[in-house]
Structure 1
Amino acid sequence: MAGRPGSGKTTLIAEVVAALGHRAGGFYTRELRAGGRRVGFEVVTLDGRRGRLAHVDLPGLQRVGKYGVDLESFEAAGVDALEQAVREAELIVIDEIGKMELLSGRFRRAVEEAVASGKPILATVMLAPNPWVDRLKSHPGARVITLSPENRAEVRAEIRRWLNGLGLGTDADPSRPPPA
């Protein structure tokens, strides 16, 4: 899934994860805000761990725009969760395959292992051209859907049909969490 910032990619991922529960593994990315402005990002694993991905106040050589990237924290949480998902989950969730995450060679290897595993992957990818990401997008098993606020309901329904076809979904709307 690709889309501009604010198009709802992470929200849709969170809805799918809530509907699938323990059958999915991986991580999603969340904004960190202070005083009404975005100051960074954290990864949240589907088993509840958190790790800092980037922050405006983080010094160092690894930078994307105004953000310093915390590769050690990202790998300890997000990449570990991705590697575990390749081994154990029925659906691999990666939010996001973007500039910050691609600074990690371990992350790129884990994504390649996920693709090679043959397991279904629900991922968000950067819109901007990138040779490594473009190669993933052109993989024979890949389908890239561009999400926008206007087509969100349609994309949600399409993902639900895909999951049902894989035997992973339910006919319930993934925007509603499963009953307790």
Structure 2
Amino acid sequence: MKNLLLSGRPRIGKTNLLRRALAKSPVSYGGFSVQRLEKNGWTWAFRLLDLAWEPYQPQTQMPEAHPADVVIELGPDGKWRGKRAVFDGKGRQAVLAAVTEQVQLIVLDELGIFERDAQAFQAAVFAALDCPWPVLGVLKNKSNPFLDRIRTHPDTRILTVTEDNHGAAALEIDRFLQKELFNNETMD
């Protein structure tokens, strides 16, 4: 299977495993990541990063951000809200650019519940899963039609990350990258 998606409970370290694997690998990659924005130690929003030109940094102290980049924000009622326009605009563009520019690896971090109405973004995600290039990403451990369809994609494997399997998960990611990117079944 050419697509590997990490899943597990929130804050278990899925994105950190993915980032560490990419830091060790000399491959070109594109796609997107969602960056946690904090102010005085509190998360106030999430920003969508286009990995073709923005550094892969999962969280940062940032008291404000450009509205066109904020993909999930905390509403005045204390509930999180996804911004479909950002998913369908910048998110879709980042994923399709990775598909059409033929990077070695497409990164999708994180696919979750806030994209449920972002049809253009969803179509781009499935274009990535169906293209010839391998995909490495993070999949929210929730259920909705979008996420469930990803889970049943015939060329996609889900790796569940737990507190007890970080080392094994890191090795599995390394094996995946070796096999998919370098056609090498074993680690050097």
Please report the TM-score for the alignment, with normalisation by the length of structure 1.
0.80
Pair 1:166-2:180 in alignment: yes
Q: Which residue does 1:141 correspond to in 2?
A: 155
2:181 aligned counterpart, secondary structure: coil
CA RMSD of aligned residues (A): 2.5
Name structure 1 gaps, 5 residues minimum: 173-180
Contact preservation (8 Å) 1:160, 1:169: no
Pair 1:151-2:165 in alignment: yes
Q: What is the number of equivalent residue pairs in this alignment? A: 167
2:173 aligned counterpart, secondary structure: helix
Larger helix share, 1 or 2:
1
Larger strand share, 1 or 2:
2
Q: Which residue does 2:113 correspond to in 1?
A: 99
Report the Cα offset of residue 103 of structure 1.
2.8
> Following the alignment from structure 1 to structure 2, what is the Cα–Cα distance between the partners of residues 169 and 78?
30
Pair 1:14-2:14 in alignment: no
Please report the TM-score for the alignment, with normalisation by the length of structure 2.
0.77
Q: Which residue does 1:80 correspond to in 2?
A: 93
Pair 1:28-2:33 in alignment: yes
> Following the alignment from structure 1 to structure 2, what is the Cα–Cα distance between the partners of residues 167 and 156?
16
> Following the alignment from structure 1 to structure 2, what is the Cα–Cα distance between the partners of residues 168 and 102?
34
Report the Cα offset of residue 143 of structure 1.
0.8
Contact preservation (8 Å) 1:20, 1:168: no
Instruction: Tell me whether 124-133 or 81-90 shows the greater mean CA deviation.
Output: 124-133
> Following the alignment from structure 2 to structure 1, what is the Cα–Cα distance between the partners of residues 172 and 17?
12
2:159 aligned counterpart, secondary structure: coil
> Following the alignment from structure 1 to structure 2, what is the Cα–Cα distance between the partners of residues 113 and 15?
26
2:158 aligned counterpart, secondary structure: coil
> Following the alignment from structure 2 to structure 1, what is the Cα–Cα distance between the partners of residues 35 and 183?
24
Contact preservation (8 Å) 2:34, 2:48: yes
Contact preservation (8 Å) 2:32, 2:94: yes
2:160 aligned counterpart, secondary structure: coil
Compared CA separation, residues 142 and 53, structure 1 to 2 (3 A): same
> Following the alignment from structure 2 to structure 1, what is the Cα–Cα distance between the partners of residues 117 and 160?
24
- The AA in structure 2 aligned to 1:85 is A
Contact preservation (8 Å) 1:4, 1:127: yes
- The AA in structure 2 aligned to 1:83 is L
Report the Cα offset of residue 169 of structure 1.
9.1
Contact preservation (8 Å) 1:52, 1:74: no
Q: Deviations over 1:102-160 (max 9, x none)?
A: 33111101011112213211121121222222122122211111112321111111010
> Following the alignment from structure 2 to structure 1, what is the Cα–Cα distance between the partners of residues 42 and 12?
18
Q: After TM superposition, what 4+ stretches of structure 1 lie above 6 angstroms from structure 2?
A: none
Report the Cα offset of residue 16 of structure 1.
2.7
Q: Which residue does 1:115 correspond to in 2?
A: 129
Compared CA separation, residues 55 and 126, structure 1 to 2 (3 A): same
Instruction: Tell me whether 12-21 or 137-146 shows the greater mean CA deviation.
Output: 12-21
